[in-house]
Amino acid sequence: MLDLQTPTMLTAQKRNICTECNGFIEPGQLYQLLSGSRKGYLTSLKTCMTCLKARNSPNADPPVCKRGATHIDRLLDISEVPACRPK
C-alpha cells in the first residue's frame, strides 16, 4: 500500500500491464490507477479488474506471490497467473 494514495478508475487507451498479476490490460478495458507516494517516492500502480475484484472480495487472503499478485488464485487457476508461473 502507498502512504498517500488516490485511486481512479480508467479505461485503457493502450495495452498496459497489471502491477499485481503481470497480465495485460487491453485497450478499452477498465482498470484502477492508484497514484501516490511511498517512502517519499511518487509511484503509480495499475490493477486489472480481475485482481481488483479478488483483492476486494470478503474472503481475501494475504499475498501469495513473490511479485505481490494478491488473491487471484481465488478467481483463476494459479498456472494462468503470469507472476505465479514457475520458471
For residue 61, what pLDDT is reported?
A: 56
Each residue's pLDDT, cut to its tens digit, for the chain (87 residues) gives 567 778 899 999 999 999 888 899 999 999 999 888 877 888 888 999 988 888 777 665 554 444 444 444 444 444 455 554 444
Map out the domains of the chain as residue ranges.
Answer: 4-82
Cβ 18 vs Cβ 10: under 8 Å? no
DSSP per-residue letters across 50-85:
HHHHHHTSTTPPSP-STT---SGGGTS-GGG-GGGS
Predicted local confidence at residue 26, as pLDDT: 95
Instruction: State which fold the 4-82 domain adopts.
Output: first zn-finger domain of poly(adp-ribose) polymerase-1 (3.30.1740)
Q: Are 46 and 17 in contact (CB under 8 A)?
A: yes
Query: Up-side HSE of residue 14: CA atoms within 13 Å toward CB?
Result: 0
Distance, CA of 15 to CA of 70 (rounded, Å): 21
